[in-house]
Structure 1
């Protein structure tokens, strides 16, 4: 398989019922928003030739809708839709069949692939791709920025990925599990008992999460991050999630890999100091 693909799916542009003007406009705008998000992530949206023959209204193929002068939606909205469709890169059936995972853009519900309508759908497909197609550390790190928008990665990244025994690709599923839990589930309040919360989080994430017990190791667990004004700040990351085996089923060898993080988010971001070998 080759990595993920986002594409305008003909099926998602087809309908057998007349769609009211406002609803159609809303659906087009929703698609344009996600198309822009995908472009901002330096991803390319694809299309197949059958797209232009999808009936966006009963008896009205997409190509006719895009280039006619009817007033079913505003001229500006139609022009934006035309630009988005036309700039999508063509992909043939053979190339398409090799892609996994597949994200389908469109206006209407109904697809055998992952339906991409909003930022959450996009984020989850990026996570699936990280599991299925773990790439080199640099690209893995770049994709993590979009898959886990609530996390801020230290300047240790992406180099620290290379410290996983046998390479981070062997642990990609578990790395995604841990980052997902930190991004989606971390709810620590400053007045809580941190050790007690880490036990609770271990149950939520299904990964043992503990606190460094040796105060003398604080310097080794202090990492550099880029602040909002581009200056460098130092943050202590003592809590850590433990990754003790590879993704390979039946792997019984115990490993000492860790994800170190700061328990206190700042400006909506949870700081991740290191992912790799035990420090």
Structure 2
């Protein structure tokens, strides 16, 4: 009955700048891919770090009814996979070794044959077999971002927290990433919260969207629900300060089309 993720009265921020205050989110069921959307500086990355246990937070983050703050670090690492915006370090490790290290850190009792099978499956799913024996310091930024995602996916965590996982990728790799995450989540054992700027990717791949918007003295949640119902011209105006339309392409997919930027007040909206 308690399966999934719930946020209860979450407040987080920095010493002299509150970012989010008293934010609550109803239960997100396993098998759900959620887009975390909103303009810059409204706390998307900060919220993901807080859920991952990497940033101070007040309130409760419940996963399957368990307060994550009460779990030992290794158990939390096993259940929660976090991909930051920062690329994996450009070390001399080959991609396969980086994957193996990530897997052993979260699942130390996993046998060698099981670990190898999990790594090979993840590489195949993401189309990364050709990079398996390449040192990380010889990979492009986009390739390192893909390896970082692979390090998270190979662990098969209950909760995925992805901070702009397609930011350094071209169109083909963006689609491969979203297809892979969508397929994993669709199996019903995983749920994912993904910070995105591309709203059309959210419309196409995500079952739910949470939109954060500017406010004083802290950002606020403007809306949450199914993307097609949440991403309206009125919401886009309030969140992003743009005049926009939501139309359908020739295949019936909804698309956000931004026509113009609107004037905003001079003061800092944060």
If the length of structure 1 is used for normalisation, what is the TM-score?
A: 0.27
Structure number with the bigger relative contact order (C-alpha 8 A, sep ≥ 6) is 2
- Select the structure that is richer in strand: 2
If the length of structure 2 is used for normalisation, what is the TM-score?
A: 0.28
